[in-house]
Structure 1
Amino acid sequence: MSKKSEIILLNISGKDKPGQTLALTEVLAQYNVNILDIGQAVIHQDLGLGILFEVPVEAESSPILKDLLFKSYEMGLTVKFTPVTEEKYEAWVTRQGKERFIVTLISRKLTAQKLSAVAREIYEQKLNIDVISRLTGRIPLDGQDNAKSVVEMSLRGQPVDMEAMKTRFIEISGSTGIDIAFQKDNIFRRNRRLVCFDMDSTLIQAEVIDELARKAGVYEEVSGITEAAMRGEIEFNESFVKRVALLKGLDEGVLKEVAEALPLTEGVERLFKTLKMYGYRTAILSGGFSYFGNYLKNKLSVDYVFANELEIRNGKLTGRHVGEIVDGDKKAELLKLIAFKEDIHLEQVIAVGDGSNDLPMIRQAGLGIAFHAKPKVKASAQHAISTIGLDAILYLMGFRDREINF
C-alpha cells in the first residue's frame, strides 16, 4: 500500500520582526515541502502566520517539525502543528467554488457592538468570514470629528435569504450608526470606470433652487411647491416649471454669487482627486441647473455635465428653462448614453444621489449608492452612505487609505 501524503498546518504567533517568514520558509525549503496555502497578518506588531504544507512522500515529518520548533524558539515565537487528513483537505478544496461577497463597514468609530451585530447576521445567513481587513489608516485616540473607520470582510457561501439580510443590515445601520455595503466579489468591483453624481445635496450641501429663491425673495413659495412634489401631489417636471417661473427677473450676477458660496460635501475634493488620478470618467447628472454644474466641472475637473439650462435675456432670468428637463428617467438615459460613448459596461458604472429622482440611474448602475438619503430612497438603493463623506465611495471600490492619501 502506497504511503499517503502528510499535510500539516503550521501556525506561528508572536512579536513581529523582519526576517521571520524568511527563516521559517528556509527550514521548509531544506525538505522540499509543497506550500498548499499561506496567510499572514500583523495586528499592532503581533504576528499571525499560517502555512499549510505537504510533506514529500519520500520524507518524514518529524525532522521538519523539530527544526521548525527550534527555529521558532530561537526567534521567541509560539508554534502549533495541526495534522490535516487528505479527506479534510479535499473537502476544503471543493469549497473554493462557492460564491464570494464583500461586506464593507463604514463608520466614524467602529465599536464592538456594531461589529458583533453585523457578524451575527453573517453567521445566521450561514456565510463564512474568510478575511477581515482595515481599509482606513491607523485610528487616533483624540476623537477627531473627521475620523473614519472602515473595515472590509471577505465572505464565502450563499446567503439563506438575501432580502432578509439586506433588511436586517438596514436595521443595524439605523440603530448603530454604521453603513453596511454588501457586494458580490467579482471582476467589476475593482474595475469601475465611470462615476455619475447628482449635484444638489450630493456634491454640494445645498439645494441651488432654494438659494436662488432666497435671493429672489420667493423662498416660501418655492419651498411649498417642493413639499407638494415630495408628497406626490405634483410631478417633478410640473414642480420644476413652477419653481423656475418664480425666479423671473433675478439678476444674472446672482448666479455667480450663489455658485461661489456653495459648500462642497465632505470628501468631495479627495474623491475627485483620486478618481482623476486613477483615470476614472466622471459625470454630473442633475435636475438642477447647468450653470452650477459647469462651475463644479471647472472646480473638480468633471468630464460631463448634464443639467437644466436657465433662460437668460438682457442679464435677467426669464422664468423659463431651455431644452428638455433632466428628470429621473433622463438621468438614467444619460448614464447609459455616456457609458455607451465611453465603451463602458453598465456593471462598471457607479451612480450616486440622494433623492427619489436619482433612483432610476442608481438602479441602472453596477454600483448604485444612496448618499445621505431619506429612508425610502435608502431602502430602494443597492447601497447607502450616511455616516461619513462622499469619499466613502472609494472604500466600496476597494481602495485603502494608503492608495489615496497623496
Structure 2
Amino acid sequence: MRAIRIAGLGLVAFLLASCSGQTDVEGAARAAGTAGTTTAPAVPAATVAFAPSDQLSPKDPIVVKASGGTLQAVKVVNPQTGNSVAGDLSPDKTTWTSSDHLRYGATYQVVATAVNQAGMPTEQRGEVHTLKPAGVATPSLFQPASGDFGVGLVIGLKFDHDIADKATVEKSFKVTSSPEQDGGWYWVNKHEVHFRPKDYWKAGSTVKLETTTFGMPIGGGLYGGPDVSATYKVHDSWIAKADGKTHQITAYHNGQLVKTAPISMGKTADTPPRGPTPTFNGTHTVLAKVDHTIMDSCTYGVCEGDPGYYKAPENWDVRISNDGEFMHENLKTVGVQGSDNVSNGCLNMNTENAKWFFDNFNVGDVVEVTNSGGPQLAIDNGHGDWAISWSDWQAGSALRG
C-alpha cells in the first residue's frame, strides 16, 4: 500500500479498503440468486486518521483514530533521531494519543494498523510535522531546582532570548506555596523575572515553581523552550539587623533575639586611595558561604602595585551581595568594631562572632543593613529584591502595565 502524507490541520480520514480486494456484493448476490442462495454483504474495512498532521505544536499530542474497527498497532518515529514516541491507547482501542513531548521543526512517521469487525487488517502510513519557530526562548532557574533556603528566598527565571510578550509568558508561570502567601513577579530586564512574596516566606514553607511556556508563542516569532520546575523548602527564620550608626549586628531566630555583636561596616569617609566604600543599605540575603578564602582587591580594579591593593586570607566568610560584601572575620579592625566603620564594604567581626554567624546563617537567610551611608542594594547585586517596596514590586509585573 502506498504511503500517504497528511496535509492540513483537521481530522483527515483515509479510506483504505477500496483497493483491498473486498467482495463485489451485487455480483455475489446475482450469482447467489442464480444458484438459489444468498451471501451476506462484506464488512467494510476500517479507516485510520491522524489529527492534526501539519504545523502541530510540539506541546500538543499526535492523535491517531480508527473508524469502523479498532487499532491493532501504532508506531510513531522521528527519523531524524531514530527515537520512537510513546503513546496510550484508549480503553475502546479506537484512539491512540502520544504521551511524549515532541520536538520543534520535526517530521514524525506514523504507521498504524486497524482491524475491522471481521478481523481484516488495514495499514496506514503518513507523516506529522511540528512547527518550526524563528527562535526558541529557553528558561533556566534563578536558583537550583531544589534545596533548603531561608525566609529571604528569591526565585525566578532567566531566558536565553529577550521576551517580547512578557504578559503572556508571565501568565504561564505558576507558583504555589504551603502555607499560601501573597506574592508577585517582577521583570528585572527583558529576559529575567523574579518572584517573591509581599513579606518574607513563613518558616517551614514549601514553595513550588512551574513553567508552561513550552510550545507557546511568546512574541517576535519566538516560542517557549522546555519547561522547568523546582520545589524549595524554607527553614527556620534567621534574620540579622546590622546598624551602621550603632555599629552593632543583632540576630533573631524565629523572632527571638539570640545574638548581639559589634561590627565595622564600610567606610563613608573619602579615605585614599579608594575613597568611600560604604556598605549597601537595604535587605540582603545570604548567597553563599565558605570557611576560608583569599580576598583580592584586584577583583574590583585595585591590583598589585596600585595604592590600597590587598590580597589577604579571610575566615568565616558569608557572602551577602555580588559586589563583594561579606560578613567575615577581620582581626585588623577588631579595635574599632562597635565604634567605627572602616571596611571596604564588608561587615567585619572578631573570630568568635564571625564563626557564630557562619555556623547559623545559610543561603536565603536575611541580613538587613541600615544607616550605612551607602546607596540601596540593587536588584541585580545579589538578592536586592527585598530592598524594593511592595508597591514598586507589583508595578514591575507585566500584568500591571
- Normalization by structure 1: what TM-score? 0.28
- Normalization by structure 2: what TM-score? 0.28
Higher Cα Rg, which structure: 2
Q: Quick check: which one's strand share is greater?
A: 2
